Each structure stands twice: as C-alpha cells, then as structure tokens.
Amino acid sequence: MTWRDEKGLTLFELVIAMGIFALVAVMGLQSLTATMRARDQLVDATQETGELSQALSLLRADLASMVPIPFAMPGGGYEASLSTGPGAFSISVAGQRHLSAPGEPAFHRVTWRVDPQSASLERFNWPTLIPASPGLQTPSITHLRGVSQLEVLIYRADLGWVPLQTDGATAFSTALPEAIQVAITSSSLGRITMIETFR
C-alpha cells in the first residue's frame, strides 16, 4: 500500500485566507453603508427640493393672481386685499378656477402662514371674498417643512421697500403695491426670497 503525499492548506495559510476574506467583507460592507447613506441623503434632498418647488410655484401663482378687492370677514368687518399678521399674510385672488366649484365665482381669499409648533409653511383659502360663515374656510395644507419665519415687504415709489402693515400708510384695500417681496426662512435651505411686481 502506498501513501500519497497529499498537500492541503496549513493552519497558517487558512488563517491568512480568512483574514483576507474578512478584510474584503468589511470593505464591501463599508462601501454598501456609504452608498445607502448617500442614497438616503439624495432622496431627502429630492423630496425637499420637490416640496420647495411646489410651494414656490403655488405662492407665485397666488401673488400673480392678486386683486385689489377687500375681504368681508364672516364675523363682520373688512380686511384689505393684502393684509398681514404674525408669521402670516392674506391676499385676495382671482382667476384660480381650481379653488372654485363649477359655476361659482373665481374670487378667493388665500392665507399663507408659518405654524410655529410644526415649523411648517401652510396655506388655506376661503372659496369666496364674502363668506357667510367661518366654516367655509378650507383646512390648512402644509407645503414646506422646517420654516421658521415668513416676512412680507411691499414696494412703494415714495418709500421704497417697507414692511406690510394692515393699518396706516402701507394698507392697500383699493390698490396693489408696485411690488411685493415674500421671504421664507428655512432651517435647511436658508432664506428664500420671491419678488412679484404689479406694474
């Protein structure tokens, strides 16, 4: 009987092979983790950019549709066509048929505001400029998250850019300002400024 001298792996060679395999596995895992993290960041950035684009498009459409018609508040009294409050502003708009039911007039009241609790930019509207009851107001819809501040300035030839005030020299109930500037401060995007001119 003859014994064949069969050569296999020694213990030392086996340990080195396992070490190389472990090193390759760790590098692959790190690469996979980095790729997944980059994908998540890209998805978040895409979602944030989409929200910003939609919010700014809607805001620009509202500003472009502004009309100098006062708003008759349901409890009595009137608000100027362009009015402001803490972290909010309201405008009278016309021509946005998607806000009306068929056959209804196309004049509406739109309000943009920052909700301090959720740090979000919200929008709601009234289906008419003369609502019969407070219940006609639509629910608020969040359009942008991470918003801490909303500022509105108007441009007047005699004063330049001034903060909008609903009483006094900058109140507009029968005329629009020459331009309006809306600035939104976002925690992740910084300050975003939009200007709409009317003349």
Cβ distance 175 to 155 under 8 Å? no
What whole-number distance in Å separates Cα of residue 143 and Cα of residue 59? 10
- 103-160 pLDDT, tens digit each: 666 888 999 999 999 999 999 988 888 887 888 888 888 888 889 899 999 998 888 8
Of the listed ranges 34-38, 42-46, 49-53, 138-142, the least confidently predicted one is: 42-46
pLDDT, position 89: 92
Of the listed ranges 6-10, 43-47, 125-129, 175-179, the least confidently predicted one is: 6-10
pLDDT of 82 above 80: yes
CA distances from 33 to 19, 28, 37, 39, 40 (A): 21, 9, 6, 10, 11
Q: Between 38 and 101, name the one with better pLDDT.
A: 38
CB hemisphere CA count around 95 (13 angstroms): 7
Q: Is 139 exposed, middle or buried (0-12, 13-18, 19+ CB in 10 A)?
A: exposed
Q: pTM of the predicted model, to two decimals?
A: 0.73
* Run of H or E including 172: none
CA distances from 184 to 84, 86, 121 (A): 14, 13, 9
CB hemisphere CA count around 153 (13 angstroms): 12
pLDDT of 39 above 90: no
Q: What is the mean pLDDT of residues 162-191?
A: 75
Q: Quick check: helix, strand or coil at residue 22?
A: helix
Q: Between 96 and 22, name the one with better pLDDT.
A: 22
- Residue ranges per structural domain of the chain: 59-197
* Run of H or E including 27: helix 11-64
pLDDT, position 114: 93
Mean pLDDT (the chain, rounded): 83
